[in-house]
Chain A
Amino acid sequence: MKPVIEFELILSIIIQSTWAMTPILLATLGEIFTERSGVVNIGLEGIMLLSAFIAVVVADKTVNPWMGVLAAVFMGAFIGAIHAFITVYLKGNHIISGIGINMFATGFVAYGIEVVWGVRGYYTPKYEAKVPRIPGLAVSPLFLISLVLVILFYLIIYKTDYGLRVRACGENPEAADVVGIPVEKTQFIATVIGAMLTGLAGAVLSIDWLAAITKELPAGRGFIALALVNFANWNPIYALGGSFLFGSLWTLTEYLKNVEAAKALIPLPLMNTIPYIATLLVVAGLIGRSRPPLYVGVPYQREQA
C-alpha cells in the first residue's frame, strides 16, 4: 500500500463531503434562524424538494443554472411565507403545517415531473443547466456561498440589533412586544429568510450535486437538518461542524458501497441506513446539553384588552 494513494483517497472523500454537506448545512442554517425567532418549520424536506424541482424546471428551460438557483430561493421564500402566515398570523399549529408542506411536496413534485417532462419519477437536467464548478477547484461555488452564509448568520444572530430582536421573539415574545419589537413581523421575516436558505439547499441537490430530480430527492436530509439544529445548539458555527460530520458520513457510505469487503459484510440496501442510524445516535447522545429558544413553536398571542 502506497501512502500517496491513501492521501488522495482522503482528499477525495473530503472534497466529496463538501458536496454532501452543503444542502444539510444550508437547511440547518435556515432553520436555526427561523427557530431563533420562535417558529418551527418541519417542512424543510418539502421546501427542499419543491425548490429542487423548480430549480431544474427553470435551469433546464433557460439553460442557465443561476436562474435555477434564483428560482429555488424564490420557491423557498414562497413556501416559507405560507408557513409563516399560517403559524404567525393565523396562530396555526407549526408541526401540522410542516407535515402538510412535506406531503404536498411529494405529491406535487411527482405530478410535476410527469407534467413538465412527460416522464415518470425521474428526470436528469441538461449538462449546461448544472452549476459549474469553480475553475481549478473541485468544489461547488454554492459550497463557498454556504460558508460565507455561516459567518454572516453568526454575525447577524449574535452581533446585530436585528439578531437580538429575532432572539427576543423566540425567547420571550411578550417582553419583546413590550419593548416595541413587532413580534409577528419579525417572526414572519425570519421564517421566510430561513426557508430561502432551505430553497437554496434544494438547488444544490437538483442542479449542483446530484443533478437529478425525483420525488424522494431530499431522502430525509430535511429532517437530518432539523436534528442538526438541536445538535448545533442553535449556533451557526456548530452547524458547520455538524453538517461536515454528516456530509463525510454520507460520502463514506457511498465509498463503502464500492468496497467489496464492506459489501460482503453489509448488504447494499442496509448500508443506506447508516446516515439515519447515525442521526439517531447523535441526537440521542447530545441532547440535554443544548437548550432550545424558550418559546419555539408556540404561537404568540397578544393579550386581549
Chain B
Amino acid sequence: MSASVKLEYVSYIGNVLLALITGLAIGAIIISWGGYDPISAYRGLFETSLNIADPYYLAMTLSYATPLMLTAATFAISARAGVFNIGAEGQVFMGALGAVVVASLKLPDQLYLPMALLLGILMGALWGLIAGLFKVLRNVNEVVVTIMLNWIAYWIVEYARIYVYYDRYRPEKTISMPRSGVLPVLVPGSELSASFIIALIVTIIIYLVLWRTRLGYSIRVVGIGLKTAKYAGINPGLTMLYVFIIGGMISGLAGALEICGRPPTYAITTGASNIAGLGFAGISVSLLGLNHPIFIIPASIIIGALNAGSRGMQIRAGVPLEMVKAVQGLIVIALAVPGFTYMLRKWRIRKALRGETGD
C-alpha cells in the first residue's frame, strides 16, 4: 500500500522533471533559431535567479514567486473541484485596481494597507463571483467566461489608469501607494517584501481549507464527480461558487500585494504591464505543483526564477525576455501528457500480470 503511494509520487515527480527538461530543451532550440547561444542564455538566466552566492538574485526570485503562488492557488482550488478557473489574470487586475483606489483616498496613515488589501480581495472576489454565477446558473464553459472577464478587467483597468487614477506628474503610471501603506522590504535593494510571507501564509491556509475543513472536503468530492457529490449530500453548484469566490479573493490579494509590496513604483504602469501575465504564469505553477497548495510553493519558486532571470538572460545573452513565457507554455503542454505516469502504470500492470508483484 505505502509502496504504491510512493511509486505514484515518484512517477509524478518524474512527470514534472520530464516536463521541465522538455520545456528547457525545446526552449534551447528556439534560442538557437533566434541566433543566440542557448548555453550562455540559460547561464545568464540561472545566474541571475537561482544564484546561491548572491542574496539579491535569490530575493528577486522569491519576489517573483510571490504573486504566482497566489494565482496558482486560485487555479489549484478550482482544479480540485473539477473546473478550470483561468480568470486569475482578470482577478489580479481588479485586485490591483482596488489597491490603487484606496491609494487615491485621503485616509489615516495606518488604514492604507489594510484597506488596500481588503478592497483588493473584495474586487477580486467580485470578479470570481461573476464567473462563478455564469458557470453555476447558466452552465457556461468557465474557460470562455473567465477569458472574457479577463479582457473586460483589462480595459476597466486601462480606463481607470488613463482617465481616473493617473499620476499627474508621471503619466506612465497610476497614483502610487503612499509610503505609510507600503509593506516593508525584506532584502534591502531588492523587490522582496513582506508580501512573500503573506503569500506563504495564505497558500498554507488554502492547504488547510482543502484538507482540513468540510468545505475542502466538498470541493474535492465535487472534483471526483458531480453524481458522487450529490450522493454524498453535497450541493455541487454552491461548492463551485465558493471555489470561484475564494479563488477571486486570493488573486485579488495577489493584485493588491503587487501594489503595496513591489518597489519602486507601487502603482499600475502603462498597459498594466507590471501586473499582466501573473494569472497565466500561475496556471503553470499550479500544474507543476500538481494542483497541491504545498507543492505550489516550490513550483512558484521555479517559475519565479524563470521570470526573475529573464532580464539577466536578456542583458547577458541578448535573448528577448519573452522567450521565458514560451518555455512556460512548453512546460504546460508537456504537463498535459500523462505519459510518464501512464507508462509506469502500464508497466506495473504488465508486471502484475506476469505475477512478479502482488499489489
Contacts and interface: CB of A to CB of B under 8 A. Distances in A.
A224 B141 CA distance: 11
Contact of A96 (B34, B322, B335): B335
B210 interface: no
Interface-centre pick from A99, A230, A277, A284 (highest chain B CB count, 10 A): A99
Nearest to A104: B329
Nearest to B139: A287
B70 to A, nearest CB: 18
Given A92-B337, A230-B141, A288-B139, A108 B151 contact: no
Interface string B310-330: 000000000110111111111
A10 B301 CA distance: 55
Interface string A196-220: 0000000000000000000100011
A100 B333 contact: yes
A277 B153 CA distance: 11
A92 B336 contact: yes
B155 A270 contact: yes
A273 B322 contact: no
Contact of A115 (B35, B327, B337, B342): B35
Interface string B328-348: 111111111111001000000
B21 interface: no
A95 B84 contact: yes
B155 A90 contact: no
A91 interface: yes
B140 interface: yes
A287 B134 CA distance: 11
Given A107-B327, A110-B322, A100 B144 contact: no
Given A86-B337, A223-B144, A288-B139, A104 B151 contact: no
A11 interface: no
Interface string A216-241: 00011001101100100000000000
Given A97-B333, A101-B333, A267 B141 contact: no
Contacts of A96: 287, 332, 335-336
Main secondary structure of the interface of A (DSSP, over half): helix
B325 A100 contact: no
A103 B332 contact: yes
A95 B143 CA distance: 9
A304 to B, nearest CB: 8
A281 to B, nearest CB: 10
Contact of A86 (B143, B147, B327, B336): B336
A107 B325 contact: yes
Contacts of B147: 220, 223
B280 interface: yes
A123 to B, nearest CB: 13
Contacts of A279: 144, 148
Contacts of A42: 143
B322 A114 contact: yes
A192 interface: no
A273 B149 CA distance: 9
A114 B338 contact: no
B326 A104 contact: yes
Contacts of B305: none
A280 interface: yes
B198 interface: no
Contact of B326 (A108, A226, A283): A108
A87 B337 CA distance: 8
A226 B71 CA distance: 24
Interface string B181-216: 000000000000000000000000000000000000
A279 B323 CA distance: 32
Contacts of B138: 283-284, 287-288
Contacts of A103: 280, 283-284, 325-326, 328-329, 332
B140 A287 contact: yes
A168 to B, nearest CB: 24
Contacts of A101: 329, 333
Interface stretch (B109-117, B156-164, B254-262): B156-164
Contact of B155 (A46, A87, A91, A272): A272
Given A220-B147, A227-B144, A276-B152, A111 B320 contact: yes
A276 B154 CA distance: 11
A151 B34 CA distance: 41
A269 B158 contact: yes
B86 interface: yes
B23 to A, nearest CB: 9
A206 B10 CA distance: 45
A116 to B, nearest CB: 9
A172 interface: no
14 contacts: A90-B339, A96-B287, A107-B328, A108-B325, A111-B326, A223-B148, A224-B148, A227-B141, A267-B159, A267-B163, A269-B162, A270-B156, A284-B138, A304-B349
Interface of B: 30, 33-35, 84, 86, 134, 138-141, 143-145, 147-149, 151-152, 155-156, 158-159, 162-163, 280, 283-284, 287, 319-320, 322-339, 342, 349
Given A100-B329, A103-B280, A111-B325, 7 more contacts: A42-B143, A90-B339, A100-B332, A106-B325, A108-B30, A277-B152, A283-B138
Closest 7 CB pairs of A and B: A104-B329, A107-B325, A100-B332, A107-B326, A100-B333, A103-B329, A110-B322
